Structure 1
Amino acid sequence: MDGFVQFMEEKFVPVASKIGAQRHLVAIRDAFMVTMPMMILGALVVMINNLPLPVFQNAMNAIFGGESWTGFGGAVWSGTFAILSVFIAFLLAYNLAQGYGKDGVAAGAVSLGSFFALGGATGMSSTGLFIAIIVGIISTELFIRLIGNDKLVIKMPDGVPPAVARSFAALLPAMIVISLFGLVAAIFAAFGVTDIVGAFYLAVQEPFMGMASTYPSALLIAFITPFLWFFGLHGANMIDPFMQTINAPAIEANVTAIAAGKAAPYIVNKPFIDSFVNLGGTGATFGLIIAIYLVGRKNKAYNVVNNLSAAPGLFNINEPMLFGLPIVLNPIMFIPFILTPMVLVTIAYWSTKLGIVPPATFMPPWVTPPILGGFLATQSISGAILAAVNLVVSVLIYLPFVRIGVLQELKREQNA
């Protein structure tokens, strides 16, 4: 194990660190972080509008004299999920330009214009997310290179307000970039593709979401995040761009299908992982906290770290445990830290696949405590029960390794 850890530190960690700090991935992650409250709100109102409880629906219809009460949820959806791709097109470009030290607002505006020039009006909701990401990256890369060309920058005399000077500096580069995307749209139209976003969704995004919702992909997600964390790399942040690109469309598709009386098409999404796998944070470390309380009380160091980690762990914040116990680069904890999420995702996936638990259609905040998150994500008691079962399983997996760790610590103290 020591040789493996040394090899990974020398060969793997430097490469993974570069990937985690890659500016395009960081820009995508930060863009989705800003939209998180809107996605939660949008999912909440859609859930309320389509809550499958006849008593609730009849009561609301009686109070408001019909189904007019659903107009509130529809209006909020129009301001959240319905324009999610618009948000991402702007925010991604803004963050990417900021990473280059350039004008983020100008880059965001150019990306937004390019998105609509390419036909983004047909895919402003989550269906246009992939196109928004592609446009945001390409338009920004073009824009920052053009704005760095002195021949294309209109310089204003001294005394002109800075905002005016910046707008004129970006004038020609912005016109060129948006025109290029308009030209691409015209070329596609000449070949009969008038809805680029819709065509891309059917050809690429929807199949990609389907592949990402399979059991092997769920297993990979459950493995890669704790694996990266074990070496001190923020695994959740590194795979977040991937998760977010399938997250919003999958939730929206699930809600739409259920509202139409059909089966939800996607099992794996962010609330699925958060509610049934990351119980207490990456590695399901709330199970580790309980295991230490059960069999680790003889070790003072374990108890101190555990007491400090318990409250944050209840809200899925586990950095105190990761670096305090520690779990990072701790050979004893490597196996349960990797194994536990893979076992939990297996239980959760097949429980959902077999119809024992409804698919996740609502995205609770990631700080929602375990068990409650399972109930909210699936809107069912069975979701809470599944989360509770997974929590018990995580405790059972961690127990023998905590015992081994305690015994080793006692031997060290005796030898000292």
Structure 2
Amino acid sequence: MVTMPLMILGGLATMINNLPIPGFQEFMNSIFANESWKGFGDSVWEGTFAVLSVMIAYLVAHNLSKGYGKDPVATGVVSVASFFALGGATGMSSTGLFVAIIVAIISTELFVRLIGNEKLVIKMPDGVPPAVAKSFAALLPAMIVISIFGLITAIFAAFGFDDIINSFYEAVQQPFMGMANTYWSALLLAFITPFLWFFGLHGANMIDPFMQTINAPAIEANINAISNGDVAPYIVNKPFIDSFVNLGGTGATLGLIIAIYLVGRRNKAYKVVNNLSVAPGLFNINEPMLFGLPIVLNPIMFIPFIIVPMVLVSVAYFATSIGLVPVSTVMPPWVTPPVIGGFLATQSFSGAVLAAVNLILSVVMYIPFVKMGVDQALKKIAEEE
């Protein structure tokens, strides 16, 4: 979550350098000699995507250590040092993301246990400032943890693996990203998030860690491919799901809101919840609808809430795979309104059109179930009267 603004900024900066507008590159080059105008975008990328794994190595350790009630800053520093001891200098960008997460978890688990061992604490004399005493208390545990990762690097080097980060990326991370880029994986993602939400579990938050591990490398690979004039390799990433599937939030509930305005106004309860949900729904916040209508544990809404995202992801995937819509290369903030998000993610009006088509599809699919819900509610009222 902390690195999200960095990925958005890095993507926007790269987008500026590679805007697919006819004549844009020539116009900018005519004003600034030798493509010097691209220096801004390149510099922003160096401060965001280029050091993403280093930040993740620190932040994962920082937050995990905080959960253990230990010194988060010291733990984060040890994690970063361990990452570089393992050869992190070759994988500071998103290519080292998996390794950074693994190193952060392992180094933290080791460090918090060692720092709690009194035999490893260097006790300072009375009168020494607390900050100094605290740093010496962590001295031996930090040395041990970092040395372990240095030893691992030396062992791998002895077997001919001089670059652990890139070797891991080629052997594990890249194939994993390829698996996550298939239509079936996209369909699974579209299914599992609303399925969890139906039972009151925050599906988006539960899936997000998985999405982030494939998201940053996929976006960076797409950007690099387009910059080199190649075909972008990864269709499925977070902006793809946010812009074409989660229209109004999980379950494409903006379509449900519109459907209620069209055919559900006879139900006063629906009308009240809808009026409260429309403003946040435009910014992809749908908790008022999930718990107010409700959708959670509502058997009538279960089918469309699950089916609609699966249909939308299918339409979006095949529209992208056959070239009707460009691959998503920019990650707009998740609160970007539907249709606008489709344009920003793909840098194309065809992306906006696809998002609009999917929104219309969601409205059409929700309408029969809204009618069913209204009829049942009115029937219940009549029976009570």
Same fold (TM over 0.5): yes
2: CA distance between counterparts of 1:305 and 1:188?
Answer: 60
Following superposition of structure 1 onto structure 2, how do residues 329-348 of structure 1 map, counting pairs within 5 Å? Answer: 329-348=297-316
Residue aligning to 1:300: 268
Residue aligning to 1:27: none
Residue aligning to 2:211: 243
Letter in 2 for 1:299: N
Following superposition of structure 1 onto structure 2, how do residues 24-35 of structure 1 map, counting pairs within 5 Å? Answer: 33-35=1-3
1: CA distance between counterparts of 2:127 and 2:340?
Answer: 59
Residue aligning to 1:391: 359
2: CA distance between counterparts of 1:333 and 1:323?
Answer: 12
Residue aligning to 2:16: 48
Q: Is residue 39 of structure 2 the alignment partner of residue 79 of structure 1? A: no
Match of 1:57 among 11, 19, 25: 25
1: CA distance between counterparts of 2:324 and 2:350?
Answer: 7
Residue aligning to 1:23: none
Match of 1:109 among 61, 77, 83: 77
Residue aligning to 1:161: 129
Sequence identity percentage: 78
Q: Is residue 67 of structure 2 the alignment partner of residue 99 of structure 1? A: yes
Structure 1 position 157, deviation (Å):
4.4
2: CA distance between counterparts of 1:407 and 1:374?
Answer: 35
Q: TM-score, normalised by structure 2?
A: 0.98
Q: Is residue 247 of structure 2 the alignment partner of residue 285 of structure 1? A: no
Letter in 2 for 1:298: R
Following superposition of structure 1 onto structure 2, how do residues 6-405 of structure 1 map, counting pairs within 5 Å? Answer: 33-405=1-373
Query: Which secondary structure does the structure 2 equivalent of 1:279 belong to?
Result: coil
2: CA distance between counterparts of 1:149 and 1:343?
Answer: 55
1: CA distance between counterparts of 2:185 and 2:336?
Answer: 24
Alignment deviations for residues 244-268 of structure 1 (CA, whole Å, 9 cap, x no partner): 0000000000011111111110000
- Unaligned runs of 5+ residues in structure 1 are 1-32
2: CA distance between counterparts of 1:246 and 1:165?
Answer: 41
Alignment deviations for residues 104-125 of structure 1 (CA, whole Å, 9 cap, x no partner): 1111001000000000000000
Alignment deviations for residues 195-217 of structure 1 (CA, whole Å, 9 cap, x no partner): 00010000000000000000010
Letter in 2 for 1:172: L
Structure 1 position 64, deviation (Å):
1.9
- In 1, are the aligned partners of 2:20 and 2:347 still within 8 Å (CA)? no
Aligned residues: 384
Query: Which secondary structure does the structure 1 equivalent of 2:230 belong to?
Result: coil
Which is worse superposed, 406-415 or 330-339? 406-415
Letter in 2 for 1:169: A
1: CA distance between counterparts of 2:189 and 2:121?
Answer: 45
Letter in 2 for 1:377: A
Match of 1:410 among 358, 375, 378: 378
2: CA distance between counterparts of 1:200 and 1:123?
Answer: 10
Which is worse superposed, 146-155 or 88-97? 146-155
Structure 1 position 158, deviation (Å):
4.9
Structure 1 position 161, deviation (Å):
3.3
Which is worse superposed, 156-165 or 90-99? 156-165
2: CA distance between counterparts of 1:106 and 1:61?
Answer: 47
Query: Which secondary structure does the structure 2 equivalent of 1:365 belong to?
Result: coil
1: CA distance between counterparts of 2:41 and 2:82?
Answer: 30
1: CA distance between counterparts of 2:15 and 2:177?
Answer: 21
Letter in 2 for 1:84: L
Query: Which secondary structure does the structure 1 equivalent of 2:324 belong to?
Result: coil
Structure 1 position 103, deviation (Å):
1.0
Query: Which secondary structure does the structure 2 equivalent of 1:261 belong to?
Result: coil
1: CA distance between counterparts of 2:375 and 2:264?
Answer: 9
Letter in 2 for 1:226: P
Q: Aligned pair in 2 of structure 1 residues 184, 304: CA closer, same or farther (>3 Å)? A: same
- Unaligned runs of 5+ residues in structure 2 are none
2: CA distance between counterparts of 1:355 and 1:227?
Answer: 30
2: CA distance between counterparts of 1:308 and 1:36?
Answer: 28
Which is worse superposed, 195-204 or 58-67? 58-67
Alignment deviations for residues 203-245 of structure 1 (CA, whole Å, 9 cap, x no partner): 0000000000000100000001001011111111101110000
Query: Which secondary structure does the structure 2 equivalent of 1:34 belong to?
Result: coil
Q: TM-score, normalised by structure 1?
A: 0.91
Residue aligning to 1:19: none
